[in-house]
Amino acid sequence: MRIGALSARTGVPVATIKYYVREGLLAGGERTGHNQVSYGEAHVRRLRLVRSMVETGGLPIATVREVLTEIEDPRRDLDSALGVASRALSSHRVPDDAPDDRHVETALAIVRRRGWERVPHEHGYIRALADVVARLEFFGISDLAELEDRYARAAEQVAEADIRLLMRRADRDEILETMVVGTVLGDALFEILRRLAQVEVSGREFKGPEAKPSERDER
């Protein structure tokens, strides 16, 4: 298809498509004649992948390129490609400066209470967790441990579904694409479902069982 059709199919403006090609996020079309370039289904799929990272994930172009470069490097074994890509997708969560030991200890305690023995203690995500714990603590969120354990339990249930999804995929490209899509869209999916559930639960708690649908968030 021509670039106009590709734009219509994906809802991505032609100028943006050309920009992605220049930035190396999308392969150029196939030259089919004088001034004629043709794009295929692979372009549609890649474009949707890039848009999910940019629009839903809010990731900067540099990060998107980093992820795509990783999952396309044939010299990388799958395991390492998964690791590096997943870290790139999460880099915005890992603080540059080391959190203090007390909060790292709290973070490790959460992991220990869930029995997550396979998480390396020096993992970047532990630093990220310690950073959030420190911020929560400051605001005197009561029963923080109870809250954290509730979140950790829920996160494990979600992660089991995530990994099962990956294990169902057969070839390398599918697995890598599913990981990227699942990471970015999964974050968004949970975030929105959490808010919807908050509307439901607060309606239940504050308005009683007989309540009409809460219009709180409609105002």
Site for its own copies in 27-86 (CB under 8 A): 45, 48-49, 51-52, 56, 58, 79-80, 82-84, 86
Name which of 22 and 173 has its Cβ closer to its own copies.
173
| Chain residues 187-216 in contact with its own copies, contact rule CB under 8 A | 187-207, 211-216
Q: How far is the CB of 142 from its own copies (least distance, A)?
A: 6
Name which of 31 and 153 has its Cβ closer to its own copies.
153
Length of the chain equals 219
Name which of 22 and 194 has its Cβ closer to its own copies.
194
| Helix, strand or coil, per DSSP, at residue 89 | helix
| Chain residues 128-187 in contact with its own copies, contact rule CB under 8 A | 128-129, 131-132, 135-136, 138-139, 141-143, 146-148, 150-163, 165-168, 177-178, 181-183, 185-187
Q: Distance between CA 72 and CA 180 in Å, rounded?
A: 12
Q: How far is the CB of 28 from its own copies (least distance, A)?
A: 22
Q: How far is the CB of 29 from its own copies (least distance, A)?
A: 20
DSSP string, 138-188: HTT-TTHHHHHHHHHHHHHHHHHHHHHHHHH--SHHHHHHHHHHHHHHHHH
Name which of 38 and 149 has its Cβ closer to its own copies.
149
Backbone angles phi, psi at 30, to 5 degrees: -90, 130
| Helix, strand or coil, per DSSP, at residue 25 | coil
Q: Distance between CA 149 and CA 152 in Å, rounded?
A: 5
